[in-house]
């Protein structure tokens, strides 16, 4: 068990002292940058953002161990007692959270961001969640006097580590986008405005739909080639210089030892978990139903990852472990 004394908190670890948000103003006094969500992606993103920012830096995560680990690596930061505490001190807030329910709780729940939000505070949500939830949360921030953009990410843990992420941004105006871009560009190399609020989420789920399908296709092609007697490295080199080339083959090839830096070569660790890909495919399915869009390969991909996620070990592994699932399934 970790003691609160091991962490340098902005305040005592309680948010009961906070006053109504009208008291706070970030227009002049509060210049800190706040980051909420120190998971596998957020941890690296926050490190890059902090190292390239001159402002004081405040972090929060529901997991106290994550905050302690971050402070051990970046001693200059302080830890907030809760999202509302962080919001009361920051003029820019970045959130990177797993699911819609987490984003709703962090922003609109008890001791949430809205309880400490200052006027004109810029909130950047880089979570991948339901588009409708994203728009609703963003509108709540705007109604409370803040500014909001949705900026989900593509690039995975490797991209977060290397600061080469792509941010797909939805904003209510160009000014908010440009302000957000100043901070997002410190964590990634591509920052693209996709349209109005929610447009970033829409672009992200379309990207991940294609990503899931391409990973399954790459896994099937590699498996077939190996069974036909081809050397996997030779086959991959051909695919990666031919029309079948894709990220799932040339960067995250699902066959171990083909790409040294790929999660498959590291025991399918350190990548985008299969259970999170299943979650994203669920978001795709919801969006398709809302828009009456047919999903043929997408539905098959969701079904395959649902079966894979029933294996507790594979659910926690990188989504390229679908290759191992295909192998094991074909041997039954």
Catalytic pick from 47, 89, 181, 204?
A: 204
Q: Which residues pair with 122 in a beta bridge?
A: 92, 147
Residue 130 CB coordination number (10 Å): 21
DSSP for 100-140 reads HHHHHHHHHSTT-HHHHPPBT-EEEE-----HHHHHHHHHH
Concerning whether 47 is annotated as a catalytic residue, the answer is no
* Bridge partners for 190 per DSSP: 166
8 A C-beta contact, residue 247 and residue 319: no
36 sits in which H/E element: strand 32-36
Q: Is 30 helix (H, G, I), strand (E, B) or coil?
A: coil
> CA of 271: how far to CAs of 35, 143, 236, 281, in Å?
21, 37, 20, 17
Residues forming the active site: 204
């Amino acid at each position: 068990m970790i003691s609160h004394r091991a962490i340098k908190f902005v305040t005592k670890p309680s948010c009961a002292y906070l006053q109504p948000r009208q008291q706070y103003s970030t227009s002049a006094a509060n210049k800190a940058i706040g980051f909420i969500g120190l998971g596998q992606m957020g941890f690296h993103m926050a490190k890059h953002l902090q190292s390239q920012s001159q402002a004081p830096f405040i972090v929060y995560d529901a997991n106290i161990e994550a905050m302690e680990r971050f402070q051990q690596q970046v001693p200059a930061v302080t830890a907030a007692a809760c999202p509302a505490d962080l919001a009361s001190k920051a003029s820019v807030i970045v959130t990177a959270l797993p699911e819609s329910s987490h984003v709703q709780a962090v922003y609109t729940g008890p001791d949430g961001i809205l309880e400490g939000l200052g006027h004109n505070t810029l909130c950047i949500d880089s979570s991948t969640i339901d588009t409708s939830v994203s728009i609703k949360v963003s509108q709540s921030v705007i109604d409370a006097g803040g500014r909001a953009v949705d900026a989900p990410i593509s690039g995975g843990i490797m991209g977060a580590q290397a600061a080469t992420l792509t941010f797909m941004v939805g904003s209510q105006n160009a000014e908010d986008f440009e302000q957000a871009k100043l901070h997002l560009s410190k964590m990634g190399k591509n920052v693209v405005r996709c349209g109005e609020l929610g447009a970033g989420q829409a672009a992200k789920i379309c990207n991940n739909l294609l990503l899931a399908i391409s990973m399954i296709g790459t896994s099937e092609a590699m498996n077939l080639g190996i069974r036909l007697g081809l050397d996997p490295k030779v086959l991959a080199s051909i695919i990666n210089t031919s029309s079948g080339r894709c990220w799932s083959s040339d960067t995250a090839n699902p066959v171990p030892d083909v790409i040294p830096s790929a999660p498959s070569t590291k025991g399918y660790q350190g990548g985008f978990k299969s259970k999170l890909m299943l979650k994203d495919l669920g978001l795709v399915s919801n969006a398709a139903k809302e828009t009456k869009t047919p999903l043929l390969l997408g539905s098959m991909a969701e079904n395959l990852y649902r079966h894979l996620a029933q294996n507790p070990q594979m659910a926690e592994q990188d989504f390229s472990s679908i290759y191992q699932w295909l192998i094991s399934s074909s041997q039954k």
